[in-house]
Structure 1
Amino acid sequence: MSAKKHSWKSYLFLITSVLVTAAMFLLDPIARANSETLTPVILAFIGLGTICSIVLAVFCFRTLNEKKTLPILGLLFTSLNVILIVSFLWIGANIV
C-alpha cells in the first residue's frame, strides 16, 4: 500500500475554487473600474469555474490514495460559492 499524498487534482481543485471565490468578491470593483465591460466575462468565469470545481470535487473525493485536506478546503470554498450563487438567484427571482 502506497503512502497517501496530494495530487495535481487536489491542487487544481483548491486553486479553481479560490479563484472563483476571488472573482465573486472582486466582481464589483472590477466592473466599476472597467465601466461594466468585463462583467459578462467574469460572470461566465464564475459559472464555469463553479461547475469545474464541482466536477473536480467528485474526482478528488473518489481517489482512494490521496490525502483529503486540500480537497476539503476546496469543498468549503466551493460550498460557499454555490450558497452565494443560489441565494442571489433566489433573491433575484423573488424580488419581483
Structure 2
Amino acid sequence: MLKFDERGLIPVVVQDADTKEVLMLAYANEEALKKTVETGFAHYWSRSRKKLWMKGETSGNVQEVVDVRVDCDCDAILYIVRQKGVACHTGNYSCFFRRLSDEVCD
C-alpha cells in the first residue's frame, strides 16, 4: 500500500532510462499515478496550480514511462522514462543542473 502524505501526494523521482540521470522531482496523487499507468506518459499533481498535468502537454517535452518503481518504505515513487526534449522548465535537460556551490536558489 502506497503511503501518500496528508495532502494525498507522494514524491516522484524521475530518471532517464538510458543515461540513468535524475531529471526531476515532482509529486503525484492517486489520479496522476493511475493516468501514468494507463497512458504510459508521466502525469503529476501541480502543488502550485492545484491540478493534474501531463508532462509536456503544452511544451511537447513528454516523458514516456518505461517503468514505475516504489521505494522500500512505499512513500516515494520512481518513474523511469524516455524523455522527449527537456525535463526542466528552464530549458535544461535535467532540473538538477546547479551545484550547491554555484548558485543560491531564490
TM range (shorter): under 0.3
Higher relative contact order (CA 8 A, sep 6+): 1
Question: Which structure has greater strand proportion?
Answer: 2
What TM-score does the superposition give when structure 2 sets the normalisation length? 0.22
Question: Which structure has greater helix proportion?
Answer: 1
What TM-score does the superposition give when structure 1 sets the normalisation length? 0.23
Q: Which has the larger radius of gyration?
A: 1
